[in-house]
Amino acid sequence: MPRHVAIIMDGNGRWAKKRYLPRAMGHRRGVEAVREIVRAAGDMGLEALTLYAFSSENWKRPADEVGDLMGLLKHFIIADIDEFAANGVRLKVIGRYRELAPDIVALIDDAIARTSGNSRTTLAVALNYGAQDELLRATASLAGQIADGTLAADSLTPDHVSAQLDTADMPPLDLLIRTSGEQRLSNFLLWQCAYAELWFTDTLWPDFTRQHLASALADYAARERRFGGR
């Protein structure tokens, strides 16, 4: 059983296109899938679930689509926070979320504070997240420690880097899932993926259900993880 699963939720646009619907409908159905998978993660006993909701590159999308995604995010936090709070879900955000609109930042901070005492499942939502940016921030912080003499450059270990990442307080990443048939990491959790198992499916994100998650976990259970050993 993996402790920490991450998902690149891809294919909302194609889901909508196949049905001659606007892309916004695909994202809306994508949020329904998020809801089901967060519930399933808790039911299945996952300690942590990290979802790639908005990358630092997603700002390149047309302004109306960015607006749709931000609106859905806002609605999601408002509508779902009570359920999280009641079900032992601790909300966490990774990425530069403080650069989002002030009302969204306030909602996020409130939701984080309200669920900070929960310990059943950590739901980390990646917002304005890019793994290279996360690694640059970690590097700058370590460089500062080296410069002020609190850390010796020749004593650096992977744990020093891990401790500076946005995921520092989460279990190691065991399994990365990407939907919609694409097979790339798209600047998501690059450091954390070092020994993660990768699982790809052609299913588009709005069609992804708890049965798909269960299949991924079953495949994971059958894999032999060696972490470079033999």
Interface positions with ligand FPP (CB under 6 A): 9-14, 27, 30-31, 34, 51, 53, 58, 69, 72-73, 76, 125, 180, 205
Task: Report the distance separating Cα 230 and Cα 226, nearest Å.
Answer: 6
The least CB distance from residue 181 to ligand FPP, in Å, is: 10
Structure-token pair, residue 123: 């739901």
The least CB distance from residue 221 to ligand FPP, in Å, is: 26
At 89 the three-state DSSP class reads strand
The single residue of 12, 43, 58, 202 carrying the catalytic annotation is: 58
Identity of the residue, 80 or 174, whose beta carbon is nearer to ligand FPP in the bound complex: 80
Identity of the residue, 5 or 138, whose beta carbon is nearer to ligand FPP in the bound complex: 5
The least CB distance from residue 14 to ligand FPP, in Å, is: 3
Look at strands 175-178 and 197-200 and give their pairing: parallel
The least CB distance from residue 68 to ligand FPP, in Å, is: 9
Enumerate long-range contacts of 191-200, CB under 8 Å, 24 or more apart: 191/131, 191/134, 191/135, 191/161, 191/162, 191/165, 192/6, 192/165, 192/167, 195/225, 195/227, 195/228, 196/6, 197/2, 197/223, 197/225, 199/175
Identity of the residue, 2 or 11, whose beta carbon is nearer to ligand FPP in the bound complex: 11
How many residues in the chain? 230
The residue with its CB nearest to ligand FPP is 13
Structure-token pair, residue 210: 């708890």
Tell me if residue 187 is catalytic: no
Identity of the residue, 69 or 176, whose beta carbon is nearer to ligand FPP in the bound complex: 69
Identity of the residue, 6 or 138, whose beta carbon is nearer to ligand FPP in the bound complex: 6
The least CB distance from residue 23 to ligand FPP, in Å, is: 6
In the chain, DSSP assigns E strands to 4-8, 48-55, 89-94, 121-129, 175-178, 197-200
Task: Report the distance separating Cα 190 and Cα 176, nearest Å.
Answer: 11
Name residues whose C-beta falls within 8 Å of residue 64's C-beta, 6 or more positions apart in sequence.
none
Tell me if residue 10 is catalytic: yes
| Residues that are catalytic | 10, 58
